[in-house]
């Protein structure tokens, strides 16, 4: 910021431009008629209202500030579709580099933009309470609070999920067998990989924890003749899954219950799959979670744990404010070594660890494409604000997987028999 700009009030666009260490790679415009950045830039952010400016100025967390303004429609993005803003996010991540202004520059900025804009507006209705306020819903990862967290994200609308996820109704990382595989082919491949790693056989019993809409349960029953029980904290998921089980005539083998996994009473399972649940249970609960699983397994039976992981053990377990408030309240991630240690330390023998990071980036690209293709119908189903949350979250997550900021790991383990047997052949068969 030069002496000439500190001596006068700045327009909104000038104020934001003054905070950049390098020239803007995109165009910024605002409701006061101001603009900054190249006029021919492929992407343009428009601050459409005073409320949007207040969102941007009042939150100490930049990601949460931008998310609030974007979700509410007060920060508009032009040049890309809201169902898949991936390309614009790449430009933002690579090209927006803020600098720390001096105290005198801060005074000029606040005077120019208005002290009143430092007062936080009411957050969008789609935002969950902060971590501090959620204590009133119960202690973190209590039965009550976990149920509310799952309800916030998963009980949006089954019809919405059908349009975004596609026919598989699978909301976890797919496994792409080749470069041209479709999303549906990749989800089937994922379920079959899990089944083969678990060495499922006709007549066995499978427990699927956090089963979602029952994809793994149905695959195990239909393709492997396994008697499969799935549990989910989402009532909408359980209802949809049971209807689909009946529609496919799998009632004699498959069942999905609306139930916290901690309340499952049956035991002596031949296999347990946990696909996308570990992210929700809390890192401090790993020992009790994997002990629970061990106690549900027969001797020489297998566990396949599939979950998002941190790329480094030095990263915080807690997600950023945007993910915590808008996507996965109370979600936590750990590095793969922490998970392997937790599985190992309860007495399960770890046999295989596989990183599927880039497969999740492809999966998210497919979901964004579905949201973009079905945008009008999705907006009619759940509202434009919710659709913007999903487009932003999925595109940003895709970028995080591509840049190795987060990963996706399979951990395959077994409960040992009394004689030390593990049921595995000398070499892997999957």
Write out pLDDT tens, residues 12-43.
999 999 999 999 999 999 999 999 999 999 99
DSSP E strands in 122-250: the ranges are: 205-209, 227-232
Topology, domain 144-415: Rossmann fold (3.40.50)
Buried b / exposed e over 347-379, threshold 16 CB at 10 Å, is ebbbbebeebbebbbbbbbbbbbbbbebbeebb
Which residues contact residue 337 at a Cβ distance below 8 angstroms, ignoring those fewer than 6 apart?
313
Supply the pTM of this predicted model: 0.92
Cβ proximity of 46 and 356 under 8 Å: no
Can you tell me the distance from the alpha carbon of 63 to that of 56, in angstroms, rounded to the nearest whole number? 9
Which residues contact residue 245 at a Cβ distance below 8 angstroms, ignoring those fewer than 6 apart?
214, 217, 218, 221, 251, 254, 255, 256
45 φ, ψ (degrees, to nearest 5):
-100, 130
pLDDT at 54: 97
373-412 pLDDT, tens digit per residue, is 999 999 999 999 999 999 999 999 999 999 999 999 999 9
95, two tokens: 């090209």
Indicate the range of 61-70, 122-131, 261-270 predicted with least confidence.
122-131
Question: What strand order describes the sheet that includes 27-30?
Answer: 35-36, 27-30, 44-47, 75-78
Q: Is the pLDDT of residue 3 over 50?
A: no
242-254 pLDDT, tens digit per residue, is 999 999 999 999 9
Domains of the chain, residue spans = 3-118, 144-415
39 φ, ψ (degrees, to nearest 5):
-70, -25
Q: Is the pLDDT of residue 153 over 80?
A: no
For residues 81-94, give the mean pLDDT: 96
Can you tell me the distance from the alpha carbon of 168 to that of 172, in angstroms, rounded to the nearest whole number? 11
């Amino acid at each position: 910021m030069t002496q000439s700009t500190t001596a006068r009030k700045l327009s909104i666009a000038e104020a934001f431009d003054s905070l950049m260490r390098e020239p803007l790679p995109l165009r910024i415009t605002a409701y006061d008629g101001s603009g900054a950045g190249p006029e021919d830039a492929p992407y343009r952010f428009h601050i459409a209202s005073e409320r949007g400016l207040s969102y941007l100025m009042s939150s100490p967390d930049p990601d949460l500030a931008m998310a609030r303004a974007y979700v509410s429609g007060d920060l508009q993005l032009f040049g890309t579709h809201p169902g898949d803003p991936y390309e614009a996010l790449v430009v933002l991540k690579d090209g927006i580099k803020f600098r720390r202004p001096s105290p005198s520059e801060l005074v000029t900025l606040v005077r120019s933009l208005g002290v009143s804009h430092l007062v936080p507006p009411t957050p969008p209705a789609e935002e969950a309470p902060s971590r501090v306020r959620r204590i009133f819903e119960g202690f973190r990862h209590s039965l009550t609070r976990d149920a509310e967290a799952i309800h916030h994200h998963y009980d949006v609308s089954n019809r919405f999920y059908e349009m975004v996820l596609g026919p598989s109704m699978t909301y976890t990382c797919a496994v792409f067998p080749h470069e041209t595989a479709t999303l549906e082919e990749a989800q089937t491949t994922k379920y079959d990989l899990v089944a083969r790693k678990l060495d499922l056989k006709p007549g066995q019993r499978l427990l699927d924890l956090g089963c979602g809409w029952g994809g793994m349960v149905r695959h195990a029953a239909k393709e492997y003749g396994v008697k499969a029980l799935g549990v989910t904290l989402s009532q909408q998921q359980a209802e949809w899954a049971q209807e689909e089980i009946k529609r496919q005539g799998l009632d004699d083998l498959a069942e999905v219950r609306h139930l916290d996994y901690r309340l499952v009473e049956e035991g002596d399972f031949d296999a347990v799959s946990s696909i996308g649940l570990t992210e929700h249970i809390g890192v401090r609960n790993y020992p009790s979670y994997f002990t629970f699983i061990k106690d549900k397994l027969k001797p020489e039976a297998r566990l396949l744990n599939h979950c998002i992981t941190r790329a480094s053990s030095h990263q915080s377990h807690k997600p950023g404010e945007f993910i915590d408030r808008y996507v996965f309240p109370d979600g936590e991630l750990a590095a793969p070594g922490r998970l392997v240690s937790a599985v190992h330390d309860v007495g399960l023998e770890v046999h295989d660890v596989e990183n599927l990071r880039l497969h999740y980036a492809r999966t998210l690209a497919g979901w964004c494409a579905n949201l973009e293709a079905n945008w009008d119908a999705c907006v009619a189903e759940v509202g434009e604000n919710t659709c913007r949350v999903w487009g932003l979250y999925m595109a940003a997550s895709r970028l995080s997987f591509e840049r190795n900021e987060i990963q996706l790991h399979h951990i395959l383990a077994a409960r040992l028999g009394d004689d030390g047997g593990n049921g595995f052949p000398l070499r892997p068969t999957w």
